[in-house]
Amino acid sequence: MSGLLRGVDYDSPIVKYRGERILHTLKKVSGRDTNIDPNFLIDTYYVHYLPLPIPKSKAEIDPSDNIKYSLVDMTMSSEIVNRNRNYSVANSAVSMALSVSYVQNLIEELERIRRTSQSQEEREAAEQILNGIMRGSSGREGRRNESQQQENQAMNKLMKQVHEKAMAKATEDANSVRSMQRIVGGNGAGTGSVMTFEGDVHEVLRLARNTEVRKILEFLSGIPRLGSFSKKKTARYSRGELYGYEEGSDLERIVPSELALPEELFYVKLAESQLLLYQKQIKETLGPIYLLLDKSGSMDGEKILWAKAVALALYSRARRENRDFYLRFFDNIPYPLIKVIKNAKSKDVLKMVEYIGKIRGGGGTDISRSVMSACDDIKDGHVKGVSEVIILTDGEDKIAETTVRRSLREANATLVSVMIRGDNSDLRRVSDTYLVVYKLDQNDLLRVVES
């Protein structure tokens, strides 16, 4: 098969690499080898990636490529694809996810029909379409000339059916990849493209198909403000960035127009600290975010799902603010500390997301022990720069106030408690900040993340 799109150099090393990468990802996702035509994979990718893909005319292609051409043409004219184009154009990870997921679902649906359909005509049509997209193969010719047109009609009908189904599933997967990119700051304004997930699309797709992870991503994707909030800490500095004006006598920050004053007036204003000066500041580094998350039995269900969404939203904020992120689940015992540094690779972030998705509610509750474990992490140097510990819990526990206060004081840390449909008077007294949430909706999440 030669390529079906104009303007794509199918002999280019970059384009060939793209086809190989898609094929490799497809094998990883499906768990098996496939003999799919590489150029067909390239075409399905660039249909999404290019802003205005243009197909070759039907007269320019080999008759053996008719099935591939029809599928590419259906893709280009699909309303779903045109809607996806808002975020798939020039986005390699999303375009790859769409291509891989579409081809995988297309093959699986055709194989299912070929294996289980009670209609021989349908089974033969599925076989012909499968043959048509494989390397070095083409659709089987009709056995009798008088029945060829009827067979083609059946095949076209089935092709449209499986195409629409595969594209709908591919869009679901791509939306999850897009949400994942947004959460970790991979495609937001000002964040660059450090974390595109292009090399880990198979892992992202696997996570995106996890029911728990998908629920969290769907919840977070409906919060447009999630990626806009960013806390800044600044300090006044004579050689920093300009942010305003003030009066004073610091000649290093003087506004040039003051130099045009008569000499006597200038010295009077200097003596009285009334010269117009620039106000300048520098950004200071914020410390890491340390989160304790209750996974006890009373948290199971909606509570822990919402808390997991908060955890990912707080990581998103940590990444935007160039901060390390620490997470520890707890019930009656503290669980291992999860650390994602500010310049973490995509694989480390995906491991954290996978871990969060696997956690289920269960066990008792020991809030005191969890807070003390966080303080020990700070005192023992397992985490660096932490001055604030955030705890998400429904508060169903008795707190050892004296011990917790002493641990926080020794660690020089403050405690922010977020009560999930609960209240704990002991925890309220030892906390520096105490929030209570009831609705567990997107507004509650933003209130916690932006506090």
Which of 234, 316, 312, 245 is CA-nearest to residue 278?
A: 245
Q: What's residue 396's pLDDT? A: 85
> What angle (nearest 5°) sits at the alpha carbon of residue 77, between those of residues 206 and 58?
110
Closest CA to 139 of 149, 150, 124, 153: 124
Q: For residue 358, count CB atoms less than 10 angstroms from its CB and return exposed for 0-12, middle for 13-18, buried for 19 or more.
A: exposed
Residues 186, 437: Cα–Cα separation, whole Å: 29
- Name the one residue in this structure whose structure tokens are 């249909």: 47
Helix (H) / strand (E) containing 87: helix 79-88
Per residue of the chain (451 residues), what is the pLDDT tens digit?
Answer: 578 999 999 999 999 999 999 999 999 999 988 889 999 999 999 999 999 999 999 889 988 899 999 999 999 999 999 988 888 999 998 999 999 999 999 999 999 999 999 999 899 999 999 999 987 655 544 444 556 666 778 889 999 999 999 999 999 999 888 888 887 654 444 444 445 677 788 898 998 888 899 999 889 888 877 766 556 555 565 666 777 888 888 888 899 999 999 988 988 888 888 999 888 776 656 789 999 999 999 999 999 999 999 999 999 889 888 889 999 999 999 999 999 998 888 889 999 999 999 999 999 999 999 999 999 999 998 898 888 999 999 988 999 999 999 999 999 999 999 999 999 999 999 999 999 999 999 999 999 988 8
The two three-digit tokens of residue 388, written as one number? 């604030």
Nearest-5° Cα angle at 191, 188 to 192:
100
The domain ranges of the chain are: 5-209, 234-284, 289-449
- Return the CATH fold of 289-449: Rossmann fold (3.40.50)
- pLDDT of 193 reads 43
What pLDDT, on a 0 to 100 scale, did the predictor assign at position 420? 96
Is 277 exposed, middle or buried, given 0-12, 13-18 or 19+ CB atoms closer than 10 A? buried
pLDDT at 388: 92
pLDDT of residue 188: 47
